[in-house]
Amino acid sequence: MNSSRRYTLTLSCPDRVGIVAAVSGFFARHGGWIVEASYHADEATGRFFMRQEILADSLPFTLEEMCEKFAAVAQEFGMQWQVQDSARKMRLVVLVSKQDHCLNDLLHRWRSGELEVDIPCVISNHEDLRSFVEWHGIPYHHVPMEDKAEAFAKIEKLYVQYDGDTMVLARFMQILPPELCRKFAGHVINIHHSFLPSFMGAKPYHQAFERGVKLIGATCHYVTADLDAGPIIEQDIVRIDHGDTVDDMVRYGRDIEKTVLARGLRYHVESRVLICENKTVVFK
């Protein structure tokens, strides 16, 4: 049995008795070998969330056939569900401006195999990082922002052309138009250099310095039409004191931004994140 290939089922539905039994029973009847299972009942919304990994070779049918058979169970419980096949790597289209620390970290993790994804292209509103990206053998597309409507139409076209699954804003210092956020809801991830909801918008380290905070952080979140207010995937912080300058905070922040984005992306790529209104359930 090839234990490396897995199907990851994620779902949410109105909470009620029998959900776990129905799903587990479905796979048991077909000889499915469940190797990881996570559950969460959200009292505030009355919804139930589940993630299960099943060894692909333990099932007697293809992924398509499994989905057809499972549809009856899903309909009975009113499930919103999807299945990810580990044999197909998620395709991340990365957007970046001039700062390269998050991009550099992602490409290192990608090249080393730590982050098992495909990166079909990088898009930027500046030319600065072209040679760095192309050295990695990745196509680089410069999209100037003089006409923003035209620029974002081109970005959307490139994303579709490269068959992107997720758009990653790796310090892309532009605000996406609301229609693009709605069209790809749950598929656009941003790293914000602040511990949201504090210090939204531009220059959060300067805002934090002026406020005299003792903790700064970074937030990986899904992008919505509301600026820096989408569902949060991952966060982290570092302690500072009165002797730290804005430049110090920016320097500390770069390290946090890299690790928070990497962790958030890993959870997303492994289908460990389920959106619950404007929050997330993250099965780590």
Residue range 106-124, pLDDT digits in tens: 999 999 999 999 999 999 9
Burial class (CB in 10 A: 0-12, 13-18, 19+), 112: exposed
Q: 241-245, long-range: CB within 8 Å, 24+ apart, which pairs?
A: 241/214, 242/212, 245/209
Handedness of CA 167, 173, 174, 175 (dihedral sign): positive
Residue 278 — pLDDT band, cuts 50, 70, 90?
very high
**In this structure, what token pair is assigned to residue 102?**
């998050």
Backbone dihedral angles phi then psi of residue 126, each to the nearest 5 degrees? -140, 160
Cβ atoms within 10 Å of 57's Cβ, excluding its own? 13
- The SS3 of residue 124 is strand
Name the pTM for this structure: 0.94
Q: Can 248 be counted among the known catalytic residues?
A: no
CA–CA separation, 238 vs 176, rounded Å? Answer: 28
CB atoms within 10 A of CB 29: 9
Residues 258 and 114 sit within 8 Å (Cβ to Cβ): no
The DSSP call for residue 176 is P
Peptide bond into 197 cis (omega under 30): yes
pLDDT tens sequence across 220-252:
999 999 988 999 999 999 999 999 999 998 899
Please pick, among 15, 228, 241, 248, the residue that the annotation labels catalytic: 228
- Residues contacting 73, CB < 8 A, separation 6+: 22, 23, 26, 79
User: pLDDT class for 3, splitting at 50, 70, 90?
Assistant: low
Assess contact for 268 and 260: CB atoms under 8 A.
no
Per-residue pLDDT at 196 exceeds 80 = no
Map out the domains of the chain with their CATH numbers. 6-85 (3.30.70.260), 90-282 (3.40.50.170)
Q: What is the mean pLDDT of residues 147-168?
A: 98
